[in-house]
Amino acid sequence: MHNQTSNLFNFIKQRVSILQVINEYVVLKKAGYYWKGCCPFHDEKTASFTVSPHKEIFYCFGCHAGGDVISFITKVENCQPIDAVKQLADRYNINLPETVISPEFYEKADDKKRYFQLCQIVSQWTEKQLEKYPSVISYLEKRGFTQESIKAFQVGYFPSGAKNFKTLTQELTENNFLIKDLLDVHLIEEGKGTFYSPFEDRVIFPIKDHLGRFCGFGGRIFKPDDQRSKYYNSRENNYFQKGSILFGFDKAKKTIQKSGQAFLVEGYTDCIAMVQHGYTNTVATLGTACTLEHLKLLAYHAQTVFLVYDADTAGHNAMLRLAELCWQVNLDLKTIFLPEGDDPASFLESSGDFNQLREQAQDILSFFLINVGKEFSNQSLQEKLTGMRKILAVLKNLDDPLKQDILLQKAAAIFDIPFDSLKNELKRTKTQQTLEPDLKTEIKPALAEISAIEKKFICAILNNRELLLKKEVARLVEYIAPDLQVIIDKLKAIEVITEKDGFLLFFDSLEYHEKQLVNNILLSNDDQADEQELESILLLLEKKYWKKIVGDTKLQIARAQQEDNAEKVNDIVVSFLTLKKKLLRRGLI
């Protein structure tokens, strides 16, 4: 079973590009043979996340996460490796031969795949139904929806009535689904002797995940006399979690990556209205509060997010909650409040100047300070202390001292408290946090012993391990820094199937600090050494270790003499003199 899993993983890795996959999650920029970006696994402002396409690995110098494409999907999607394989196979339409997978794999893969297929079939059915109801189309047009937007967002309608329900069941049957499948995911419910759907008589907004797979639905009432709640969303399940999905993200992702900016609104109709007016980098939460997971998803692709909220109490409270989360992500969050009584659609349709609102957008932490500090002078002592502690609790988590001081200056002005007093209180309340071992601290002793020429030497071997078969290379390995010797020993121990798979197996066998060292060496030597450069590297190392080579040669001669092996003595001497002449000709000794 282990071999079968290994074969399956290798099969997938040979057919997908790690650069293409990771580029779906992280904005990457080319740096020599490598690509760099901000790590999706921890908050950072300086890019320390690297992708090596020629080695098919990724590595972060900040949090030490690393591995191959399957490791990446496992970590970023928070799933098991086998589920990561399924996802990659589905996304890139890879047919998996029976020789590399077990029947159990098919059974487990079916659940998720069938759920997405079921949602897609229901979405397509609601689209067809919409065409039959001019009154619903008229409602959408009155709300400002264009035909292009209706089609682009695949807006549909879920009609009521047994006759309509029958057409849905026929559609399901033709695609090998049963009514039970709809019941299991609560797209329909069973009443007294009949079936019904909470989506009946609602305009349907299909929801897709970040990979563009249909995973749920939002339904909105449109009849004036409908007393039900305005919106109804799909029930959450293993494949549909509202707290981690953003409506429209699959469409907006490329624009967000290109511009580095995103607009976040509160609902489906707001999102579509923004897109219609040219703000194609807009996404929406699914009728729920914006979560840390939402912000993390946006942080993979954007540097700045404009929060577009209503100027009411609920909108202000939502902003205040986000201010307490924002320090956990590498995002510049800015607040945009629409005029009272407006939503994005009404504001844009009335020719409101949205660009002006964007220019006036306020940093969320500044907004937070101003709102917490409102009527500070009229508050009781307890209320003042509570407000100040709330502010310091947020500011103490910022890792940028300059930003901290700027915000403390603002707080000092708002609260009329001396800056030094706030600064001292911040220091007093700031708790010690347990940090990951720092890269520089962790590998500094090892790097101090490793010269630039040794790095080039190891880099050449990592790019072509057959060099270890050369006598002069094998001899020099004995003299390099101990940390490098351990790495070379692990490289030798790997049985290679293909060069790429061999390197991945080798990389997986390393400890995290060894991975740091390997990546440091590879990143500092972008170009693969040619034969002439390799010869120069070997000569320089032989010069560096000349005293050790002389000492070892004397010992080898002494041992051969003790064995009374004249032929061996002669070979050692000839080899040594040949090397000495070569170094003398180059003026290296």
- Dist CA 383 CA 395 (whole Å): 19
pLDDT in tens, 482-534: 878 888 888 888 765 445 556 667 777 777 677 777 877 776 665 566 777 88
HEC letters along 285-349: CCCCCCCHHHHHHHHCCCCEEEEEECCCHHHHHHHHHHHCCHHHCCCEEEEEECCCCCCHHHHHH
> Residue 337: beta bridge partners?
309
Are 281 and 392 members of one domain? no
Are 12 and 89 members of one domain? yes
Q: Does residue 216 belong to any structural domain of this protein?
A: yes
Are 135 and 230 members of one domain? yes
| pLDDT in the model for residue 141 | 93
Q: Environment class of residue 584 by beta-carbon count within 10 Å: exposed (0-12), middle (13-18) or buried (19+)? A: exposed
The two structure tokens encoding residue 35: 């690509």
Are 315 and 412 members of one domain? no
Are 487 and 455 members of one domain? yes
- Dist CA 336 CA 270 (whole Å): 14
Are 262 and 350 members of one domain? yes
| pLDDT in the model for residue 496 | 55
Are 314 and 420 members of one domain? no
Q: Does residue 342 belong to any structural domain of this protein?
A: yes
3-class secondary structure, 413: helix
| pLDDT in the model for residue 497 | 45
Among candidates 393, 394, 396, 372, which has minimal Cα distance to 384? 372
Are 228 and 289 members of one domain? no
Q: Does residue 222 belong to any structural domain of this protein?
A: yes
Are 236 and 248 members of one domain? no
> Residue 247: beta bridge partners?
284
3-class secondary structure, 85: helix
Among candidates 582, 487, 485, which has minimal Cα distance to 538? 582
Among candidates 154, 270, 253, 268, which has minimal Cα distance to 211? 253
User: Could you write out the DSSP letters of every residue in 449-517?
Assistant: T--HHHHHHHHHHHH-GGGGGSHHHHHHHTTS-HHHHHHHHHHHHPPPSSHHHHHHHHHHHS-HHHHHH
Question: Dihedral (C-alpha) 164, 167, 168, 174: value to the nearest 10 degrees?
Answer: 180
Q: Please check whether residue 304 is in contact with residue 324, taking contact to mean a CB–CB distance below 8 angstroms.
A: no
Q: Please check whether residue 179 is in contact with residue 185, taking contact to mean a CB–CB distance below 8 angstroms.
A: no
Sequence letter at residue 358? R
Are 251 and 352 members of one domain? yes
Q: Give the chain's residues under pLDDT 50.
A: 1-2, 431-448, 497-498
Domain that holds residue 29: 2-101
Are 131 and 189 members of one domain? yes
pLDDT in tens, 313-337: 777 778 878 887 777 777 889 999 8
User: 0.85 cut: is pTM over it?
Assistant: no
The two structure tokens encoding residue 181: 């499948």
Instruction: Mark which of 355, 370, 385 sits at the end of a domain.
Output: 370
Are 74 and 157 members of one domain? no
- Dist CA 68 CA 55 (whole Å): 9
Q: Does residue 122 belong to any structural domain of this protein?
A: yes
125: CATH: 3.90.980.10
Instruction: Mark which of 402, 429, 456 sits at the end of a domain.
Output: 429
Q: For residue 226, what is the DSSP state?
A: -
Helix, strand, coil percent content, the chain, rounded in steps of 5: 55, 10, 30
68: CATH: 3.90.580.10
Q: Would you say the C-alpha torsion 503, 505, 506, 510 has a positive or negative sign?
A: positive
Q: Does residue 581 belong to any structural domain of this protein?
A: no
Tally the domains of the chain.
Answer: 5
- Dist CA 510 CA 508 (whole Å): 6
- Dist CA 125 CA 171 (whole Å): 8
Q: Does residue 567 belong to any structural domain of this protein?
A: no
* CA–CA distances in Å: residue 156 to residues 3, 145, 237, 285: 47, 13, 22, 19
Q: Does residue 205 belong to any structural domain of this protein?
A: yes
The two structure tokens encoding residue 342: 């407006």
| pLDDT in the model for residue 379 | 73
Q: Please check whether residue 473 is in contact with residue 538, taking contact to mean a CB–CB distance below 8 angstroms.
A: yes
The two structure tokens encoding residue 12: 């997938």
Q: Does residue 568 belong to any structural domain of this protein?
A: no
Instruction: Mark which of 60, 77, 101 sits at the end of a domain.
Output: 101
297: CATH: 3.40.1360.10
| pLDDT in the model for residue 525 | 62
